[in-house]
Amino acid sequence: MYLVEDLFDKRSVVGIKLEQFMLEKGCTKIELCKNTGVSRPTLDKLLSGTLTNKTNYEKHVKKVLEYLAITPDVLLGNVKISYNRTRELKNILKISSDEISDITGIPLERLKDIEAGKEATLAELRDIAMCLSVSVNCLKGRNFFEPQISEMDYFFGTNDSNYFSGYWGHIGVAINNTNTFHWFPIDRNVRKMLYDVLDNEKIVVPCMNNKVLLLNMNHIKEIVLLDEACDQPNFIEWDYHVDCGEMPLVVYDALEDYVLYENHDDKVLSKKMIKFLSDLMKKKCWTEEDVNMITDLSNIYYSDGVQRPLYIDFTQDETITDEIMDIYIYEAAEYSENILYCEDTGGAEIILNIKNIAMIEAPLLKVENKVLKKEEDLI
């Protein structure tokens, strides 16, 4: 049973449902504002899910519900709602439902139902996430790492959201005993976060190329941050192949299914997504092995400069995910371990002494999905 107090946390879905009820009852915005005393700007914020003051939200939504003669239970269908951030992201990116419908081929009414929390296929969610330049986890509001949008932060920036952020620039990491910098694209929020944690012994850095870094700062010689407007540095080695976070995380997720299965289920990958992935692989000249490296490969960077590739089997027991999770949440070395273990995809058991490791570079989505599974198992 839902109460008015429960609606604030579901305000994006509530806004869509209110629009549907207004349409069914033939109630215009002008009529509703006139009869409830809710101003037009406030009503627009209610319907878009962008009214952020909880007290004001509850006061105004109660007036609207009373006028439409519906209860919170009737509004939400008295069923479990699947959380969906589509509307919130549309507002940030200034993209309409009509545009998403045109791009994805999902009928507008079906798209509105998905926005309102109805169950959707993985293929539908992937197509929507592709339009909004995010991951499916982000779209469903179940991401572990802070959500990133694969657009330059300059185009939507801090005026629209302090929670979502886009591509800011690159982080370069140099390990002791080497002169090589390893470059990774990061978003605005990660850049801000770095200045808060650089004094910590271990830090976690989510990157925009489906990588998450676990840094042992005892073995890190230097970190360089370059925003997108900077010239390529002439005082250090630059990797001309490093990307700029232009590929949304949903692409990395979908690529794995694309190469893994010969017969593609249309509930998993749409025809549009299949064509996009096919064209992408041809353009990049990627083989199946290349895709496996992009989506699955981890790298261990030792303090003596040695780098070792490692395919971690995240379906098995391992503590690398636990280490990343604890450091990312608590930002303190006392929650971390010195000995980590995992299995590679060939079944070999690997024991790592992190005291001798400068950096672990792991696939972000694999780590995030493992964290989410751990959380689900605890419920």
Write down all domains in the chain, each with its CATH number in brackets. Answer: 4-76 (1.10.260.40), 86-139 (1.10.260.40)
pLDDT score of 343: 96
Q: Specify the higher pLDDT residue, 159 or 143.
A: 143
Average pLDDT of the segment spanning 147-160? 73
pLDDT score of 8: 85
Entry pTM:
0.84
Element counts in the chain: helices (H) and strands (E): 17, 11
pLDDT, tens only, 38-65: 998 899 888 877 787 889 899 999 999 9
pLDDT score of 155: 67
pLDDT, tens only, 260-269: 887 889 999 9
Looking at the predicted structure, is the pLDDT value of residue 333 above 70?
Answer: no
Distance, in Å, from the CA atom of 225 to the CA atom of 228, rounded to the nearest integer, reads: 10
Q: Specify the higher pLDDT residue, 376 or 194.
A: 194
pLDDT, tens only, 78-133: 555 567 888 888 888 889 999 999 999 999 999 988 888 888 999 999 999 999 99
Q: Rounded to an integer, what is the distance from CA 154 to the centroid of its chain?
A: 18
pLDDT, tens only, 182-229: 999 999 999 999 999 988 999 999 999 999 999 999 999 999 999 988
Q: Which two tokens stand for residue 32?
A: 């509703």
Distance, in Å, from the CA atom of 362 to the CA atom of 321, rounded to the nearest integer, reads: 9
